[in-house]
Chains A and B, each alone.
Chain A
Amino acid sequence: MNNLIILPILIPLITGVVLIFFTKNIMAQRWISAISALLTIIASFMLAHQVYRNGIQTMDLSNWEAPYGITLVSDMLSALLVLTTSIIAFAALFYSFKSIGEARERFFYYPVVNFLIVGVNGAFTTGDIFNLFVFFEVMLMSSYVLIVLGGTKIQLRESIKYILVNVISSALFVIAVAYLYSVVGTLNMAHISVRLSEIGSAGIITVIAVLFLIVFGLKGAIFPLYFWLPGSYYAPPAPVMALFGALLTKVGVYSITRTYTLFFYHDVGYTHQLLQTLAVMTIIAGVIGALAYTDIKKIIIYNIIVAVGVILFGVSILTPESLTGSIFYLIHDMNIKATLFLLIGIIIVITGTSDLEKISGLINRYPALGWTFFIATAALAGIPPLSGFAGKLMVVRSGFETENYIGAFVVLMSSLLVLFSVMRIFIRGFWGTPRAYKNEERAPVKWLLVAPAILTVFAVLYGFGTEAIYPVISTAAETLANPEIYINAVLKE
């Protein structure tokens, strides 16, 4: 029993509720949400520290013992993801203070962001498959509000698509959980794993595995289920885009990782082969998109899809090294996607457009912005010693070791093309002759740059500190590779 686990969920929840009372007082809203985001970071850091020191931490809600009640489980992977989420949430909130606009702030922007964090942290932490669904819903409800808040034409159009896709996938989620429950008769994830290994590989289990892949694939944007993502993520303003791009798809990816390592590892020949094929296709589709567009938002959005493919490719190989690589890359990618979205948000604030054809010569006026962007893109592509390198290296190496040559080769090529796609923004947008833009004078560039600059520093530290972080990440991967560790911690047998 460890009540620290609930704090990264509870703090944003209470904050979100309290903020409803302060809708008119914007300064109070900003202060309260900033302080609570800081507290969440501290709590999740302490949690991660404890998990690293003492192993997996669990907590049975309402004191109902597992497997009967709902158990929250914090293993190294979930603790790290919760910590990353809290940091990104703080950055996005800080960025919002000067960019989101008073109209949105008055209409529950901060409460809803807090509820979104509740959903994301909850989904990362829960050890109960139905509770996972509930936290998915909390997260999705908040994202519906965030995507439509502001009510511009494009937002209304995209939110209809977004809600439709997610309502359908939520329905499928419940159906999948019901299937699983009818087979194993339990909802506790550790307990499900025990029961499934008693059954071994049966046809119905494979069907359920694929159903779960469809459900989480829709949220996590894998090929061919990513069709809704480029349009929907394009609509909301930059900080919301950063939250969506960094967190929402990653919850889908996390859920695939969790279910495909904890539940469905019995018929690897089918399920993980399928996952691998889809992951490779996802990378290819993402790269094509990233190269095809000259709109900076679209380029970064398609890069989300590439990253999802890379992470899932590592998961599908299912060796300790590939899992370590995937986790390395997952955390790196959450951080760097948030950074990039916030940075292009600044470019859009300055220039008033996201069309690369209409932007040039920014580096003359904004050298700090230019170089931060440069470092972030280099980190995204995985240039050593920055943060994307170690993860991708391990994924590719284990791909070659297990003789998945095509996949590993695609991952390698993708990093080159990803670098090209984002360098294009740098070369076209920052080099060239400077232009005058309409809203330039009013843009609070310095303030806005703080949050992405801090995240970029994290990316650099994460890259340089690979050696120091490695044991933490490999602990996380060890739990994934050996489900018994997770099961024993939850059921205490």
Chain B
Amino acid sequence: MKTNDVILQTVTKFVLFVIILFSIHLFFAGHYYPGGGFIGGLMTSGAIVLLLLAFDIKTVKMILPFDYIKVVAVGLLIAIGTGAGALFFNMPFLTHAYTYAYLPLLGKTSLHTAVLFDTGVFLVVIGVTMTIIQTIGESE
């Protein structure tokens, strides 16, 4: 039976961007306020799951043609690489560095290597969530 989900699909098209923007906001809030790579990643995968619900696996695969296991691997590499970078400066593993810089538009901004680490976490979370959901979804 084919259900008519015009409303869901139309709403999704708009809401999707709101969710993703909010997840990016959460991601960057991460270091000093509640948020970060994990929550941001979960929210982004929430957006993708919404897309899956409104459309189907094939459509989503067409829009986002990623191998999510590879996404996990890339994320891990970024995260471990950030941690291992400290070794080259003869500091303990996972030591972070930060500085304040004046950027155009943004003004005084804190630049922190933790953002790189969080980017890794972000990708890992998306990769793992989507791998799980796709594996469960495909067997139906």
Indicate if the CB atoms of B92 and A14 lie closer than 8 Å.
no
Complex Cα distance A63/B90, Å? Answer: 11
Bound Cα distance A419, B89 (Å): 53
Query: What is the distance, in angstroms, from B50's C-beta to the closest C-beta of chain A?
Result: 28
Q: Which residue of A lies closest to B84 (CB)?
A: A10
> How far apart are B52's CB and chain A's nearest CB, in angstroms?
24
Chain B contacts for A63, CB-based, 8 A: 91-92, 95
Residue of A nearest to B95 (CB): A63
Is B87 touching A3 in the complex (CB atoms < 8 A)?
yes
Bound-state CA distance A1–B95 (Å) is 12
B93-A59 in contact (CB<8A): yes
In the complex, chain B residues 75-119 whose Cβ is within 8 Å of any chain A Cβ:
76-77, 80, 84, 87, 90-96
B92 and A59 within 8 A (CB): yes
Encode A1-22 as 1/0 by CB contact (under 8 A) with B: 1010010001001100110110
Instruction: Report how far A63 CA is from B98 CA in the complex, Å.
Output: 14
How big is the B interface, by class? 10 to 19
On whether the beta carbons of B94 and A62 are closer than 8 Å, the reply is yes
- Alpha-carbon separation in the docked complex, A63 to B92 (Å): 6
Interface pair A20/B70, CB less than 8 Å apart = yes
Contact across chains for A3 and B93 when beta carbons are under 8 A apart: yes
Q: Is A333 in contact with chain B by the CB < 8 A criterion?
A: no
Residue B26 CB within 8 A of the other chain: no
Given known A10-B84, A13-B80, A14-B80, contact A1–B70 (CB-CB < 8 A): no
How far is it, in angstroms, between the C-alpha of A10 and the C-alpha of B73 when the chains are bound?
Answer: 15
Q: Which residues of B contact A13 (CB under 8 A)?
A: 80
Q: Is there a chain B Cβ closer than 8 Å to A61's Cβ?
A: yes
Kindly list chain B residues whose C-beta atoms are within 8 Å of the C-beta of A6. 87, 92-93
Contact of A61 among B70, B72, B77, B92 (CB under 8 A): B92
On whether the beta carbons of A17 and B80 are closer than 8 Å, the reply is: yes
Give Cα distance in the complex from A128 to B94, angstroms: 16
Contacting residue for A3 out of B70, B80, B90, B96, CB 8 A: B90
Instruction: Report which residue of B76, B92, B93 has the largest number of chain A beta carbons within 10 angstroms of its beta carbon.
Output: B92
Nearest A residue to B87, CB-CB:
A3
Chain A residues with CB under 8 A of B80: 10, 13-14, 17
Contacts of A75 in B (CB 8 A): none
The closest CB in chain B to the CB of A16 belongs to: B76
Contacts known (A10-B80, A10-B84); A17 close to B73, Cβ less than 8 A: yes
Interface of B (DSSP majority class): helix
A60 beta carbon closer than 8 Å to chain B: yes
- Cβ–Cβ < 8 Å partners of A20 in chain B: 69-70, 72-73
**B11 to nearest A CB, angstroms?**
36
Identify A10's interface contact among B76, B90, B93, CB under 8 A: B93
A61 touches B73 (CB 8 A): no
User: A62 to chain B: which residues have CB within 8 Å?
Assistant: 92-96
Which residues of B lie under 8 Å from residue A18 when comparing CB positions? 73, 77
CA distance A63 to B113 in the complex (A): 14
Query: Of residues 267 to 300 in A, which have CB atoms within 8 Å of B's CB atoms?
Result: none
Residue numbers in A under 8 Å from B93 (CB-CB): 3, 6, 10, 59, 61-62
Which A60-82 residues have C-beta < 8 A from chain B? 60-63
Nearest CB of B to A22, in Å: 10
Chain B nearest CB: distance from A23 CB in Å? 8
Which A residues touch B76, using CB under 8 A?
17
Contact between B84 and A14, CB atoms less than 8 A apart: yes
B87 surroundings in chain A (CB, below 8 A): 3, 6
> Across the interface, which residues of B come within 8 angstroms of A60, CB to CB?
92
**B59-78 interface with A by 8 A CB criterion:** 69-70, 72-73, 76-77
Specify the chain A residue showing the minimal Cβ separation from B77.
A17
Q: A116 CB to closest chain B CB, in angstroms? A: 16
* Distance from A332 Cβ to chain B, minimum over Cβ atoms (Å): 32
Residues in A with CB closer than 8 Å to B90 are: 3
| Min distance, Cβ B23 to any Cβ of chain A, angstroms | 24
Nearest B residue to A14 by beta-carbon distance?
B80
* A264, chain B: closest CB distance, angstroms: 30
Identify the closest chain B residue to A2 (Cβ). Answer: B92
B94: contacting residue among A1, A14, A17, A61, CB under 8 A: A61
Within 8 A of A (CB), among B111-134: none
CB of B15 to closest CB in A, whole Å: 33
Given A10-B84, A13-B80, A14-B80, A21 and B94 contact (CB-CB distance below 8 Å): no
| Chain B residues, CB < 8 A from A3 | 87, 90, 92-93
The CA-CA distance from A18 to B77 in the complex, in Å, is 8
A28 to B95 CA separation, bound complex (whole angstroms): 32
Chain A 241-279 per-residue mask, 1 if CB under 8 angstroms from chain B, else 0: 000000000000000000000000000000000000000
State A249–B69 Cα separation when bound (angstroms): 30
How distant is the Cα of A14 from the Cα of B87 in the complex, in angstroms? 14
Instruction: Determine how close the nearest CB of chain B comes to the CB of A305; give it in whole angstroms.
Output: 36
Contacts of A1 in B (CB 8 A): 91-92
Question: B7-45 toward A: CB 8 Å interface, digit per residue (1/0)?
Answer: 000000000000000000000000000000000000000
| Least CB distance, B116 to chain A, in whole angstroms | 14
Residues of A within 8 A of B69 (CB): 20
Contacts of B77 in A (CB 8 A): 14, 17-18
Since A17-B76, A20-B73, A62-B93 are in contact, a sample of 15 more A-B pairs with Cβ atoms closer than 8 Å, ordered by chain A residue number, is A3-B90, A3-B92, A3-B93, A6-B92, A17-B73, A17-B77, A21-B73, A59-B93, A60-B92, A61-B92, A61-B94, A62-B92, A62-B95, A63-B92, A63-B95
The 6 closest A-B pairs by CB, nearest first: A20-B73, A62-B94, A63-B95, A17-B76, A6-B93, A63-B92
Subset of 18 A-B contacts with CB under 8 Å: A1-B92, A6-B87, A13-B80, A14-B77, A17-B73, A17-B76, A17-B77, A18-B77, A20-B72, A21-B70, A59-B92, A59-B93, A61-B92, A61-B93, A61-B94, A62-B92, A63-B91, A63-B95
